[in-house]
């Protein structure tokens, strides 16, 4: 079979369970071989089947490794982790984009928007011209819900002063606040990787000799997992 996307996996697992021999051909080889017989790169089911059969006849195929048991669980965990990490990076970039457009002075007061206190302030979903009108005590009380120390009245005053001279956009404000709400909700969801990280550790602990690999200087958990899934 030609492994395009994920569509071949179910068939491969079924054939393995039925103890039927199976193999895959490289899609790049199929593409390059199409022109050998008729000098045309056109594609249809009959032609593709013939090309694939010819490659198999010539021995140009491989038997893929289908992980079983804990190795299958490990592959799924690493795939989920990769997807979540990618999605998290996208959301982080979009929050930066939002701040650049609507409150570019925000990062002069808060150096890291991903800390609890900063997210707490952003969760008010206020644009600079709205933030200016909120009493300092109200903002401080809101901050103190997550940060008991380290953020005093001076920080709140600095934020309001930055908001008063902000050059951020004011048009489309209602939808901008909705956008920020959605972004912070996504960030909270994607950043909760602790449970998955714990599961990865549990899976690796079930595999022999993993601790010996981890003991090698410069070799981390992700590297070991990559070794095991090759």
Residues 6+ apart with CB under 8 A from 201: 221
Is the predicted pLDDT of residue 82 greater than 80, yes or no? Answer: yes
- pLDDT in the model for residue 180: 96
- pLDDT in the model for residue 97: 96
In this structure, of 146-150, 170-174, 191-195, 210-214, the range with the lowest mean pLDDT score is 146-150
Is the predicted pLDDT of residue 230 greater than 80, yes or no? Answer: no
pLDDT confidence tier of residue 53, bands split at 50, 70 and 90: very high
- pLDDT in the model for residue 150: 59
- pLDDT in the model for residue 151: 67
pLDDT confidence tier of residue 65, bands split at 50, 70 and 90: confident
State pTM to two decimals: 0.75
Is the predicted pLDDT of residue 42 greater than 80, yes or no? Answer: no
- Specify which residues 24 forms β-bridges with: 62
- pLDDT in the model for residue 191: 83
What's the CA angle centered on 75, arms 69 and 78, to 5 degrees?
A: 140
């Amino acid at each position: 079979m030609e492994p395009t996307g994920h569509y071949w996996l179910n068939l491969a697992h079924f054939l393995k369970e039925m103890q039927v021999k199976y193999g895959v051909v490289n899609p790049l080889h199929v593409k390059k071989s199409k022109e050998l017989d008729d000098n045309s790169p056109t594609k249809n089911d009959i032609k593709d089947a013939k090309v694939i059969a010819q490659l198999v006849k010539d021995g140009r195929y491989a038997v893929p490794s289908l992980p079983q048991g804990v190795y299958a669980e490990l592959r799924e965990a690493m795939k989920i982790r990769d997807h979540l990490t990618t999605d998290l990076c996208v959301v982080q970039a979009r929050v930066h984009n939002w701040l650049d457009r609507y409150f570019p002075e925000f990062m002069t007061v808060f150096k890291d928007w991903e800390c609890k206190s900063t997210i707490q302030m952003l969760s008010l979903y206020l644009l600079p011209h709205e933030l200016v009108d909120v009493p300092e005590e109200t903002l401080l009380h809101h901050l103190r819900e997550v940060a008991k120390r380290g953020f005093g009245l001076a920080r709140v005053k600095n934020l309001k002063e930055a908001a008063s001279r902000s050059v951020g956009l004011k048009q489309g404000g209602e939808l901008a606040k909705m956008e920020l709400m959605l972004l912070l909700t996504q960030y909270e969801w994607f950043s909760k990787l602790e449970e998955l990280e714990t599961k990865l550790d549990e899976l690796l602990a079930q595999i022999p000799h993993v601790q010996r690999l981890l003991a090698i200087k410069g070799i981390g958990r992700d590297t070991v997992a990559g070794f095991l899934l090759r």
